[in-house]
């Protein structure tokens, strides 16, 4: 091979590479974009799961909104109080109190208690099942248990146990992905330390509910009548609890004839939940 050829190749590639390198170096100077340092700092402390629980498209968008003052420092429910403190520090504002929330599936109708209209053998997805006569469970507000919430949970906190979605409260961050994904709209965000909640969302009359579910709210209003602080109300044939008023006396739990008011107790960072009478013999975090 001619030595001239080798030298020419060497020379022209050096020119080409050097030229392009110089061009890029120059371009990075000319086209430099001022990145907002605060946004970057906020983004760093955010969880980075891009769950969308804050209502923005992802953590970057949320960080930008926080920096611009559109979103509050506690917009990210996932990080909790610790994160809010950090962000407030970056933004240079006083920290706001956040309340840790968790998702709760408002249905107690496991396969042993609820009735089915038909046997569903289609695509294993709640949204698909709902399109066929509202799902296989007779109750129009019952958990279908095909796990659409399981697939959207970024934190692997949901499991289907005996036909009803159950949330692991240690893992749940309250991002509300499952709340918006559930086609039955029976997942609600409640305070993490909520003492009691009603495990039913059936809005049919008592007689109808009784016909298809052994653990449905029959709107007998016993809980409403006996609540000493008026925290529980029966509206549209279903009881709901106002968590700001509830004083955890347990009266509603004792009075409920259907035993569908659930209770939780947190001891040593370990939450035990129980349905019906207060008896925390059942250990578990909802698993």
The residues binding another protein (CB under 8 A) are 5, 8-9, 12-13, 16-17, 20-21, 23-24, 27-28, 30-33, 123-125, 128
- 125 versus 208: smaller Cβ distance to another protein: 125
Structure tokens at 33: 């974009």
Query: In this complex, which beta carbon is closest to another protein, that of residue 1 or of residue 94?
Result: 1
Nearest to another protein of 9, 229 (CB atom):
9
Please choose, from the candidates 101, 100, 79, 99, the residue with its C-alpha nearest in 3D space to the C-alpha of residue 90: 79
Rounded to the nearest whole angstrom, what is the least distance from the CB of residue 34 to another protein in the complex? Answer: 10
Nearer to another protein by C-beta: 123 or 161?
123
CA distance 192 to 173: 9
Say if strands 238-241 and 261-267 run parallel, antiparallel, or are unpaired.
unpaired
CB of 140 to another protein, least distance (A): 23
- Residue 2 or 279: the one with the smaller Cβ distance to another protein is 2
Residue 61: both structure tokens together: 């968008």
Bridge-based pairing of strands 164-167 and 196-198 is: unpaired
Determine whether 90 is exposed, middle or buried from the number of CB atoms within 10 Å of its CB (0-12, 13-18, 19+). Answer: buried
Closer of 20 and 70 to another protein (Cβ): 20
For another protein, which is the closer residue by CB, 12 or 280?
A: 12
Distances in Å between the Cα of 271 and the Cα atoms of 109, 110, 187, 231, 275 are 22, 21, 19, 23, 13
For the CB of residue 22, give the shortest distance to another protein in the complex, in Å: 10
Q: How far is the CB of 8 from another protein (least distance, A)?
A: 5
238's tokens: 């279903």
Nearest-approach distance from CB 144 to another protein, in angstroms: 14
The residue among 21 and 55 lying less far from another protein, judged by its C-beta, is 21
CB of 76 vs another protein, minimal distance in Å: 21
d(CA 82, CA 98): 9
Sign of the CA dihedral running 236, 238, 243, 248: positive
Rg (CA), the chain: 27
- Dist. CA 235–CA 60, nearest whole Å: 40
- Neighbouring CB atoms inside 10 A of 85's CB total 17
Question: What CA–CA distance (Å, rounded) separates 147 from 17?
Answer: 54
């Amino acid at each position: 091979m001619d030595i001239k050829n080798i030298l020419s190749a060497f020379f022209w590639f050096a020119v080409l590479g050097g030229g392009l390198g110089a061009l890029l170096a120059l371009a990075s100077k000319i086209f430099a974009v001022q990145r907002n340092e605060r946004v970057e700092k906020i983004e760093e402390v955010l969880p980075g799961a891009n769950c969308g629980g804050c209502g923005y498209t992802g953590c970057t968008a949320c960080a930008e909104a926080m920096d611009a003052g559109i979103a509050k420092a506690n917009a990210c429910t996932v990080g909790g109080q610790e994160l809010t403190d950090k962000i407030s520090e970056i933004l240079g504002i006083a920290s706001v109190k956040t309340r840790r929330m968790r998702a709760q599936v408002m249905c107690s109708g496991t396969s042993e208690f609820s009735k089915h209209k038909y046997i569903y053998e289609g695509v294993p997805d709640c949204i698909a099942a709902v399109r066929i006569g509202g799902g296989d469970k007779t109750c129009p507000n019952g958990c279908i248990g095909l796990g659409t919430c399981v697939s959207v949970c970024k934190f692997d906190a949901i499991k289907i146990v005996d036909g009803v979605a159950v949330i692991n409260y240690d893992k749940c961050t309250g991002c509300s992905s499952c709340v918006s994904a559930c086609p039955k709209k029976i997942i609600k965000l409640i305070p993490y330390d909520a003492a009691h909640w009603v495990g039913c969302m059936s809005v049919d009359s008592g007689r109808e509910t009784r016909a298809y579910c052994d653990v449905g709210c029959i709107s007998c209003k016993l809980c409403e009548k006996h609540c000493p602080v008026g925290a529980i109300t029966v509206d549209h044939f279903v009881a709901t609890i106002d968590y700001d008023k509830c004083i955890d006396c347990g009266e509603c739990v004792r009075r409920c004839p259907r035993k569908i008011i659930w209770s939780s107790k947190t001891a040593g960072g370990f939450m035990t939940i129980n349905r019906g009478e207060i008896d925390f013999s059942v250990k578990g975090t909802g698993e």
